[in-house]
Structure 1
Amino acid sequence: MAALMALCFASGAQALNQEVPGCGNLSNAFGPWDYRIDRGEPLMLVESAHFTPIVEALVRGATGKLGQDIDYTLRAFPNHHRALVAAARLADRDKTPQPQGFNYSIDCYFERAIQFKPEDTTARMLYADWLARHGQRDIAMKQLQFVEAKAGDNPITVYNLGLVYFQVGDHASALRMAHRAAALGVTRPELTTQLKNAGKWTEAPPPAPAASAASSAAPASGPAAPASAATP
């Protein structure tokens, strides 16, 4: 346990004094930990006590009020993707931006997540979905544009980005991501089906001819010698 606490302080030190404007400080007695990579004992301890299946399903709290357990999870793991989804669902269910037991609003939990780990594209896509569903499409698009710039050739990120683009109503970008994901080897049908059902699907244009194909038809050693120079 002493070794675990030492690890907690080492991880948490990186977030000390990281103030999120209007949304508190990221420092925490336990953590904060990065949900994407800290998948060992700290995550097991938090999820087994506070983010149980009953909590995730929004049935009831595990150690107190439902909101308190989700809040604890998001203070220990600010970018815990499933807890962010659960928090947003609870806010929608209870029709309030700050359900009972939460220390912050839903917007704050998302802001804390992306300040904690700005490169976490999944957290940003979840935030964009929340923003778009609550009348802030312009801000949502900025989050998605950031993700697209960082996605590179990651097929999962590209595909998921297409799904979120579709959800926010940007069908042209969703189609572009669908084509790009297919080129990267993704075969899942959901995005294509959604675009077809919305009447927004078109096949990807054929690839441009490779430059090497044209060059292979050219002589390898420059122009042919004039006929007068040929050997009899």
Structure 2
Amino acid sequence: MQVVDLSHPVRTGMQVFPGDPSVELRSAATVAADGFAVAQLHLGSHTGTHLDAPLHTVQDGTAVDAMPLEALMGPARIVSLPGSAANTVLSWKDVSGQLAGLLPGTIVLFSTGWSRHFNTPAYLEHPTFDAEIAERLVAAGVRLVGVDTLNPDPTPGPAEPGQAQGGTFLPFHDVFLGSGGGIVENLTNLDEVPWPEPWFSALPLRLEGLDGSPVRAVAFKP
């Protein structure tokens, strides 16, 4: 089996969505002092490469532990969008040519190359995706979509933490999560997947009743 890791490493001080909990990993026990090693983790549910469950933006939506696992793995279509400029709004016309013949249940992954800016201020100025894309994907039977950016919608700057949570700044989320689907954010290495139509997996921790979870996202060829 060939496997490509599509996940950013989780480390202390890594970049997070403006206003989200900071990430701190510290030692709670060591082999030298205690005979075993244990780490203490402080992080938000949307740290690093992670899954947004419907509950993230939908009142009484499905929590991450209740999402069907079969919807979070399966055949994927990578849509390559190299050269996407900062703050560009990508439209259905920009992506439709690579989505012909899409079968229901296919996972769609958008590769803009923006993950190269992860952990820099430029990462906040990522391309975004028009809500029509979400509408078309939902109509085609897509239940999981992934992006190699912080957000398929615009991300507020550091001086505006939480501003996007009101709903008006999250049209892609509103449509896709509102349909019961999931969104994987902060993917990386999509351009390193050498084969067409890979299988994809992004399984979350079983965090009861929560709105999202970090995942270990991978593309593989059985």
TM-score interval, normalised by the smaller of the two chains: under 0.3
Which has the larger strand fraction?
2
**What TM-score do you get using the length of structure 1 for normalisation?**
0.24
**What TM-score do you get using the length of structure 2 for normalisation?**
0.25
Which has the larger helix fraction?
1
Indicate the structure whose relative CO is greater, using CA pairs within 8 Å and at least 6 residues apart. 2
